[in-house]
Amino acid sequence: MAKVNPTAKLPLKTFIGKGSYDKRLMYAKKLNADFFKLTNDEFKKGSISIIDYKKALMSLLPPNIKLHVSCISKTEMGCGTKACVSHSLTNDEVKFSTVYFPYMIHHGKKNKNARISTNIKGTVAHENFHIFASLCNPKHEARSNSFLYNDFEIYEQCLYGPNARITPSRIKIFLKHLKSKTIEEKINFLQACRYHLIEENIAYSEETKYQYVKYNIPEYSFVEKILVLEKLLAYYIRKARNQHKKLIDNANKSYSS
């Protein structure tokens, strides 16, 4: 799962992808595959050190990106998922904080000599993809998260996770939440949710690709939720265009008279 500070910006100099949105996501997947080629021997031994993990990841990132790998407890992180990637600004540069818990193998002091167990190789793939996808889509990442930040609770309640199944009651809650927004805000929020679900769907697919996990991706209903969002987007975009056309027609009538 990825969380982003609303003030975070991804400078264009950090951009590592090109082409359409789909092509950029494919490139993020390729970078993930490259990472596991670099770390294959370490994971085969049962674990990889934080130092080697960071070294492999940094070799695939732009040189100006700062990566901080932190090992804290689930309670300290305040995130209800297995791990989390947070993006924030440090001296006008993006800092990525990747947090793994509680599957870390600890030796000595916190974070010192810590190792990432092969048992969470899938989790590593999941969080790595969020990092690569963010860097492949810098403008989209900053824009979509600014629209989603204040609505993250409704996003989690109605869209994210296996417990947020598509039900009449959840759709009702979601539509009620949209009522308070302007059409432009509705479109921006729905698009942000759509992008996040698309990337979560791929992140979970990456997780199962690199390690067998017990949960079943279809239970998350990402595809069905994305389709619902796209239908709502089509409706509000059509409505916005009609309103815009009406304003132009009225302006032309006033000008003619």
> Is residue 148 packed enough to be buried (19+ CB in 10 Å), middle (13-18) or exposed (0-12)?
buried
pTM over 0.85: no
pLDDT per position in the chain (257 positions), as tens?
A: 444 444 444 444 555 667 888 999 999 999 999 999 999 999 999 888 888 988 999 899 887 777 777 655 545 544 444 555 655 544 444 445 454 444 444 444 455 567 788 888 888 898 899 888 888 887 777 667 677 778 888 888 889 866 777 888 888 999 999 999 999 999 999 999 999 999 999 998 998 899 866 556 667 788 999 999 999 999 999 999 998 888 877 777 776 65
User: Do the Cβ atoms of 201 and 181 come closer than 8 Å?
Assistant: no
Q: Residue holding tokens 């809650």?
A: 173
Q: What stretch of H or E contains 2?
A: strand 2-4
Q: Which residues on adjacent β-strands are paired with residue 83?
A: 100
Integer Cα distance of 48 and 42 in angstroms:
5
Predicted pLDDT of residue 114: 72
Number of structural domains in the chain: 1
66-70 and 93-100 beta bridge pairing: parallel
Hey, what are 105's tokens? 């193998």
Whether 256 is in a domain gets the answer: no
Residues in the chain: 257
Q: Residue holding tokens 């999941």?
A: 126
Whether 90 is in a domain gets the answer: yes
- DSSP-derived secondary structure letter, 148: H
User: Do the Cβ atoms of 129 and 32 come closer than 8 Å?
Assistant: yes
Predicted pLDDT of residue 86: 57
Range of the domain at 167: 2-243
Whether 252 is in a domain gets the answer: no
Predicted pLDDT of residue 194: 93
- DSSP-derived secondary structure letter, 37: H
Distance in Å from the first CA to the final CA of the chain: 57
Whether 255 is in a domain gets the answer: no
Whether 251 is in a domain gets the answer: no
Whether 43 is in a domain gets the answer: yes
